[in-house]
């Protein structure tokens, strides 16, 4: 029964996992170019990682492949292009060294300038015999000399196929045969133009092949096209033609398979050897390793004879460049600046040793679909029953087993299956289940926090939730700032409103007031009717607790002013508040009984804060703070109010009125300066001068009761013998 109950509780997660599995299966085969591009890019990255992880030392097979490099050293010492006679000499040198096939990854589309022809043009009116001149022209014809060198061994060239209709040169005569019509139904990439080498070189060469690359959408060269279509002809690549010449095969045949209205390429047959390809006649490039995994010999050394001739005995020689200036560098899984000529070398080696070629069989889509369904169902049913730790372990094991199986197919069977969607499936289901557990737990924490936020300070709760071991519930004594705020004439206001209206008024007032206290890092201590008590500096330390408390008071006054206008417009009573703030040592902690506790502050400094709030009505101001508070504030203007002895205390405390920035205008600050001058005279008992100054202030600002209060107080103090040690304090006998 318990298992049934657990399954019922986890049923939603299981169904969601199955839906996610179906969604990933849909994405794998959905006809959306954007999705296909992302998956192809992901599979490309996985392919590169797998390829690099499985690279190893590879001995030469029965064919030695050597690259003659038109490298930077060649550019510096000889330059490029070379005289064609020099190329012919290089062909003879390589043939003498035993090269069987020489493939130029170069297009010789332009004829070389023949100086004898230019001389003949200048001497057309001179007495020069034609046979002598013809002999001279022929002897200085570099293209002819280069073509004549082809008799030494099999020499072939590359040509470039183009998508436009530009045609330069002669189309190679050696084609690939197919048992089906060669038309638009054959799934081979088609071109309509080409640029090939000179006719004289074409006629003398043993073969030619296109040198077009077939990068993936991300620009990386992972596959190589062996065939392309030109009209009703199938043309071989440079690599394929080089392999044919080396294998002494007379022709290359295409194996095809019907696919609806189209015909897919399945492979190419060289001699008796079948080379599996994809539907477009492409193969995965069997990279040996990074750049220079094949023997490289600088073209300079070939010309100087400074090379190991045994290296070329029975070899296929590919002539190309690694020079940056000649721009034949490619982005590949094994290097971002990989010479194109070495790409051809890898393909040639794979064609001559088919066991090196990896391929993707026709049934790969079915295999991926079965895997996603099987693993999707398994993980969807299992994951919800596990805890977070076991979920992570199961997910990791599933990924490891997927990679291991994929690599086994790669290394043992030469089958390249895509892996990105399979790994995505595992990660998605794992992340969903772990995330669901996390958010479920977070939701519970939020529910608890939401309940206790009404009573316990949010910062205190966060600290307990994040680091419960660092939280002590014991009381401590530290310097804090405490604020008391009270709505003026609240009893009168409550009598004018119904119970529901009073509730609405308090809620609309307390919401923004509480928010601004929290915003300024304060802790709500309690609400008592219309009174709010808050403090700063606990449970989290706050070096600017005094500054933050005063800035909170400013914002509370602004909020009250805004609400006052709204309440009056709605027919409610006008709302005004008084705020008192004090800074000093206080006891803070969880205090109360075993039945109910509150995180609060206690002490004389707290009591003084409460007294200051009550004194705001006496002095006709909305905000009063102690000297201890204002001394820790920066960039806050203030007006000195009085030195007072509150009920129950014998020591005088200086109190001030902080001024909000919008209050501290130039004009008002001049008035404050005049007031301070009068107050200073009051403190030194210069009653006449003090009274005169206060009288002027009353005339300037008759609404300020502070000035009138001091004039009345001076009248009383004149009659008293205060003594020389009088500190100007006033004793308040009520709270």
3-state secondary structure 152-211: HCEEEEEEEEECCCCEECCCCCCCCEECCCCCCCECCCEECEEECCCHHHHHHCCEEEEC
For range 627-644, the mean pLDDT = 95
Question: Does residue 47 sit in the same domain as residue 13?
Answer: yes
Q: How does residue 476 score in pLDDT terms, banded at 50, 70 and 90?
A: confident
Same structural domain, 180 and 298: yes
Split at pLDDT 50, 70, 90, the class of 686 is very high
Measure the CA–CA gap between 244 and 351, rounded to whole angstroms: 9
> In whole angstroms, what is the distance from residue 698 CA to residue 691 CA?
10
Instruction: Tell how far CA 396 is from the center of its chain.
Output: 23
- Segment among 509-513, 524-528, 657-661, 686-690 with least mean pLDDT: 524-528
- 667/406: higher pLDDT: 667
What is the per-residue pLDDT across 115-170, written as a single tens digit (0 to 9) for each?
Answer: 655 555 555 555 455 555 555 555 567 678 888 888 999 999 999 998 887 888 88
Residue that finishes a domain, picked among 615, 635, 660 = 660
Q: Mean per-residue pLDDT for 386-398?
A: 84
Do 217 and 174 share a domain, yes or no? yes
For residues 222-228, give the mean pLDDT.
92
* 467 falls within a domain: no
The 3-state secondary structure of 253-301, one letter per residue: EEEEEEECCEEEEEEEEECCEEEECCCCCEEECCCCCCCCCCCEEEHHH
683 shares a domain with 649: no
Average pLDDT over residues 45-52: 82
460 within a domain of the structure (yes/no): no
Stronger pLDDT, 727 or 555, i.e. the higher one: 555
* pLDDT bracket for residue 371 (50, 70, 90): confident
For residue 487, with 0-12 CB atoms within 10 Å meaning exposed, 13-18 middle and 19 or more buried, which class applies?
buried
How many helices (H) and strands (E) the chain has is answered by 23, 28
pLDDT bucket at 699, cuts 50 / 70 / 90:
very high
357 lies in a domain?
no
- 427 lies in a domain? yes
- Does residue 420 sit in helix, strand or coil? helix
Position 551 confidence tier, pLDDT thresholds 50, 70, 90: very high
- 623 shares its domain with 721: no
| Same domain, yes or no: 630 and 566 | yes
Residues 158, 196, single domain; the answer is: yes
State pLDDT tens for residues 590-602. Answer: 777 766 777 789 9
Shared domain check, 388 and 304? no
φ/ψ of 416, rounded to 5, equals -105, 100
Looking at 320, 352, 384, the residue that finishes a domain is 352
Closest CA to 322 of 342, 304, 302: 342
pLDDT at residue 180 above 60? yes
CA distance 671 to 601: 38
Closest CA to 53 of 388, 344, 410, 305: 410
pLDDT at 478: 92
Q: How confident is the model at residue 14 (pLDDT cuts 50, 70, 90)?
A: confident
What digits encode the pLDDT tens for the residues 181-193? 888 888 889 998 8
Q: CA 6 to CA 353: how far, in whole Å?
A: 57
Task: Give the integer Cα–Cα distance in Å for 205 and 221.
Answer: 28
Look up residue 619 and give its two tokens.
Answer: 């002095």
Residue 450 covered by a domain: no
Structure tokens at 325: 């200036």
**What average pLDDT does the structure give for the chain?**
84
Instruction: Report the relative pairing of strands 262-270 and 273-276 from DSSP bridges.
Output: antiparallel
Stated as kind and residue range, the H or E segment containing 353 is none
Distance in angstroms (rounded) separating the CA atoms of residues 531 and 624:
16
Please, which pLDDT band fits residue 178 given cuts at 50, 70 and 90? confident
pLDDT score, position 451: 43
Cα-to-chain-centroid distance, residue 566: 47
Q: Between residues 276 and 259, which one has the greater pLDDT?
A: 276
Would residue 380 count as lying in a domain?
yes
- Mean pLDDT across the stretch 510-521? 91
**pLDDT for residue 236 is more than 60:** yes
What is the DSSP annotation of 19-84? HHHHHHHHHHH---HHHHHHHHHHHHHHHHHHHHHH-------SSEEEEEE--HHHHHHT-SSPPH
Check the CA dihedral 629-630-632-633 and report its sign: positive
Q: Can you give the pLDDT at residue 683?
A: 92
Contact present, 420 and 43 (Cβ < 8 Å): yes
> Contact 598/587 with Cβ under 8 angstroms?
no
pLDDT(343) > 50: yes
Residue at a domain's end among 352, 370, 394:
352
483 and 399 in one domain? Answer: no
Give the C-alpha separation, 60 to 133, whole Å. 51
Please give the average per-residue pLDDT across 568-590, as a whole number: 92
Question: How many domains does the chain contain in total?
Answer: 4
Higher pLDDT, 79 or 449: 79
* Among 459, 476, 475, 480, residue whose Cα is nearest residue 591: 475
Percent of the chain having pLDDT more than 90? Answer: 35
Q: For residue 416, what pLDDT is reported?
A: 82
pLDDT at residue 697 in the model:
94
**Token couple for 456:** 């316990």
Q: Is residue 343 part of a domain?
A: yes
Tokens of 241: 């033609």
Has residue 583 got a pLDDT over 90?
yes
Range of the domain at 700: 665-735
Strands of 233-236's sheet, edge to edge?
Answer: 190-191, 227-230, 233-236
Highest mean pLDDT among 26-40, 101-115, 346-360: 346-360
Angle at 511 between CA 506 and CA 512, to 5 degrees: 115
**393 and 274 fall within a common domain:** no
pLDDT at residue 2 tops 90: no
Tell me the C-alpha distance between 410 and 356, whole Å. Answer: 11
Q: 532 forms bridges with which residues in the sheet?
A: 485, 527
506 CB neighbour count, 10 Å cutoff: 18
284 and 198 fall within a common domain: yes
Residue pair 27/421 in contact by the 8 Å Cβ criterion:
yes
Give domain status of residue 452, yes or no.
no
Residue 561 preceded by cis peptide, ω within 30: no
pLDDT tens string 434-455: 877 777 666 666 654 654 465 4
- Residue 669 banded pLDDT, cuts 50, 70, 90: very high
Co-location of 327 and 205 in the same domain: yes
For residue 32, the model assigns a pLDDT of: 72
Buried b (16+ CB within 10 A) or exposed e, 694-725: beebbeeeeebebbbbbbeebeebeeeeeeee
């Amino acid at each position: 029964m318990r298992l049934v109950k657990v399954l019922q509780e986890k049923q939603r997660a299981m169904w969601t996992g199955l839906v996610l599995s179906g969604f990933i299966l849909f994405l794998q085969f959905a006809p959306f170019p954007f999705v296909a591009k992302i998956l192809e890019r992901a599979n490309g990255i996985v392919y590169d990682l797998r390829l690099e992880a499985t690279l190893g030392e590879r001995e030469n097979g029965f064919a030695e492949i050597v690259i003659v490099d038109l490298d930077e050293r060649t550019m510096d010492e000889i330059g490029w292009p070379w005289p064609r006679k020099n190329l012919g000499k290089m062909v003879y040198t390589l043939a003498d060294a035993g090269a069987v096939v020489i493939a130029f990854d170069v297009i010789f589309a332009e004829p070389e300038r023949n100086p004898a022809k230019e001389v003949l043009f200048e001497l057309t009116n001179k007495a020069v015999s034609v046979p002598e001149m013809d002999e001279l022209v022929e002897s200085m014809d570099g293209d002819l000399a280069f073509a004549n060198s082809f008799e030494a061994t099999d020499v072939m060239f590359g040509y470039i196929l183009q998508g436009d209709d530009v045609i330069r040169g002669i189309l190679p005569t050696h084609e690939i045969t197919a048992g089906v019509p060669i038309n638009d139904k054959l799934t081979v990439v088609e071109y309509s133009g080409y640029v090939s080498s000179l006719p004289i070189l074409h006629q003398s060469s043993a073969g030619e092949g296109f040198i077009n690359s077939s990068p993936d959408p991300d620009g990386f060269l992972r596959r190589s096209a062996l065939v392309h279509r030109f009209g009703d002809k199938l043309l071989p690549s440079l690599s394929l033609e080089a392999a044919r010449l080396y294998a002494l095969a007379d022709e290359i045949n295409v194996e095809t398979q019907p696919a609806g209205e189209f015909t897919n390429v399945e492979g190419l047959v060289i001699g008796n050897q079948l080379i599996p390809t994809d539907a477009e006649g492409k193969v995965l490039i069997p990279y040996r390793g990074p750049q220079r995994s094949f023997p490289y010999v600088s073209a300079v050394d070939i010309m100087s004879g400074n090379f190991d001739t045994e290296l070329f005995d029975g070899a296929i020689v590919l002539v190309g460049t690694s020079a940056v200036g000649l721009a034949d560098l490619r982005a590949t899984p094994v290097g971002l600046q990989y010479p194109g000529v070495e790409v051809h070398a890898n393909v040639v080696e794979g064609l001559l040793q088919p066991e090196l070629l990896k391929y993707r069989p026709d049934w790969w889509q079915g295999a991926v679909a079965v895997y996603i369904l099987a693993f999707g169902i398994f993980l969807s049913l299992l994951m919800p029953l596990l805890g977070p730790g076991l979920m992570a372990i199961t997910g990791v094991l599933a990924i490891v087993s997927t990679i291991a199986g994929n690599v086994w197919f790669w290394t043992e069977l030469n089958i390249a299956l895509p892996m990105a969607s399979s790994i995505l499936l595992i990660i998605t289901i794992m992340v969903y289940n772990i995330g669901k557990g996390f958010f479920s737990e977070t939701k519970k924490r939020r529910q608890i926090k939401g309940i206790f936020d009404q009573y316990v300070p949010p910062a205190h709760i966060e600290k307990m939730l994040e680091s419960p071991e660092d939280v002590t519930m014991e009381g401590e004594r530290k310097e804090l700032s405490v604020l008391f705020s009270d709505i003026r004439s609240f009893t009168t206001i409550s009598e004018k409103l119904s119970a529901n209206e009073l509730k609405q008024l308090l809620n609309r007032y307390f919401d923004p007031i509480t928010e601004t206290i929290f915003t300024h890092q304060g802790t709500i201590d309690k609400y008592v009717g219309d009174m709010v008590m808050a403090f700063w500096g606990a449970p989290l330390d706050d070096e600017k607790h005094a500054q933050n408390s005063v800035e909170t008071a400013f914002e509370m006054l602004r909020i009250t002013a805004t609400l006052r206008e709204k309440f009056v417009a709605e027919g409610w009573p006008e709302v005004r508040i008084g705020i008192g703030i004090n800074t000093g040592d206080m006891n803070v902690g969880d205090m109360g009984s075993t039945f109910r506790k509150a995180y609060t502050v206690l002490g004389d400094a707290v009591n003084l804060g409460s007294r200051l709030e009550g004194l705001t009505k006496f002095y006709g101001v909305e905000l009063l703070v102690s000297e201890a508070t204002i001394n820790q504030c920066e960039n806050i203007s203030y007006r000195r109010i009085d030195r007072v002895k509150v009920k129950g205390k014998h020591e005088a405390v200086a109190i001030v009125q902080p001024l909000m920035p919008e209050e501290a205008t130039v004009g008002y600050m001049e008035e404050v300066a005049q007031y301070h001058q009068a107050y200073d005279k009051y403190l030194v008992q210069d009653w006449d001068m003090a009274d005169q100054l206060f009288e002027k202030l009353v005339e300037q600002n008759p609404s300020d009761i502070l000035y009138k209060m001091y004039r009345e107080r001076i009248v009383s103090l004149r009659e008293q013998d205060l003594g020389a040690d009088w500190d100007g304090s006033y004793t308040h006998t009520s709270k």
